[in-house]
């Protein structure tokens, strides 16, 4: 059923006029109230308002280093941080190796060929690393091309 055939403006206006002409108590009051509600809503929504911009953020700088550090002190702290980082990475690698060995032990206990699974995992890891390196090389070459085009 088409929407156009269902609604006719002329018949709607005629029905409204017939309803308004009937002698009912408070008809003009209700008609005025019915017209004022949407008019009031439109008036309230159409008021122009000006919002002030937000206050700029207050930045507090946290300085964890001594202010007068020499280059030698900076170098020593960098070396110490690198040592700590390498120790954490070695500990993670050891934990990962222990985890792999535990899974291999579990696999052997359940009758799985863990050596074949390890070879497949190594091949998969090598393939993923090669793909990541190829993507990296592609991005690097694309970046060089864009940089060369802007010069």
Q: What is the 3-state secondary structure (H, E, C) of 16-41?
A: HHHHHHCCCCCHHHHHHHHHHHHHHH
DSSP tag of 111: T
Check if the beta carbon of residue 31 is closer than 8 Å to that of residue 20. Answer: yes
For residue 27, the model assigns a pLDDT of: 81
Backbone Cα Rg of the chain = 39
Same-domain status, 79 and 101: yes
101: pLDDT strictly greater than 80: yes
For residue 151, the model assigns a pLDDT of: 55
Residue 45 falls within a domain, yes or no?
no
Residue 20 falls within a domain, yes or no?
no
Same-domain status, 97 and 125: no
142 compared with 150, residue with greater pLDDT:
142
Residue 138 falls within a domain, yes or no?
yes
Report residue 69: phi and psi, to 5°. Answer: -70, 140
Report CA 24 to chain centroid distance, whole Å: 60
Which value, to the nearest 10 degrees, does the dihedral of the CA atoms of residues 60, 61, 66, 70 take?
-150
| pTM, two decimal places | 0.42
Domain count, the chain: 2
Same-domain status, 147 and 128: yes
Residue 63 falls within a domain, yes or no?
no
Same-domain status, 121 and 142: yes
Check if the beta carbon of residue 117 is closer than 8 Å to that of residue 107. Answer: yes
Q: How far is CA 63 from CA 57, 66, 72, 104, in A?
A: 19, 8, 19, 48
Domain enclosing residue 134, as ranges:
114-151
For residue 147, the model assigns a pLDDT of: 66
pLDDT in tens, 71-98: 999 999 999 999 999 999 999 999 999 9
Check if the beta carbon of residue 62 is closer than 8 Å to that of residue 55. Answer: no
For residue 146, the model assigns a pLDDT of: 66
134: pLDDT strictly greater than 60: yes
Residue 129 falls within a domain, yes or no?
yes
């Amino acid at each position: 059923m088409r929407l156009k055939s269902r609604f006719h403006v002329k018949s709607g206006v005629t029905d409204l006029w017939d309803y308004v002409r009937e002698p009912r108590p408070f008809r003009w009051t209700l008609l005025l109230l019915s017209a004022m509600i949407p008019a009031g809503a439109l008036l309230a929504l159409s008021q122009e308002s000006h919002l002030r911009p937000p206050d700029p953020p207050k930045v507090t700088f946290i300085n964890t280093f001594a202010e007068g550090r020499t280059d030698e002190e900076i170098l020593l702290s960098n070396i110490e941080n690198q040592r700590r980082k390498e120790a954490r990475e070695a500990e993670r690698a050891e934990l990962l190796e222990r985890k792999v060995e535990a899974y291999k032990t579990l696999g052997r206990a359940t009758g799985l060929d863990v050596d074949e699974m390890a070879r497949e995992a190594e091949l998969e890891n090598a393939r993923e690393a090669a793909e990541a390196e190829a993507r990296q090389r592609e991005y690097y070459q694309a970046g060089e091309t864009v940089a060369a085009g802007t010069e």
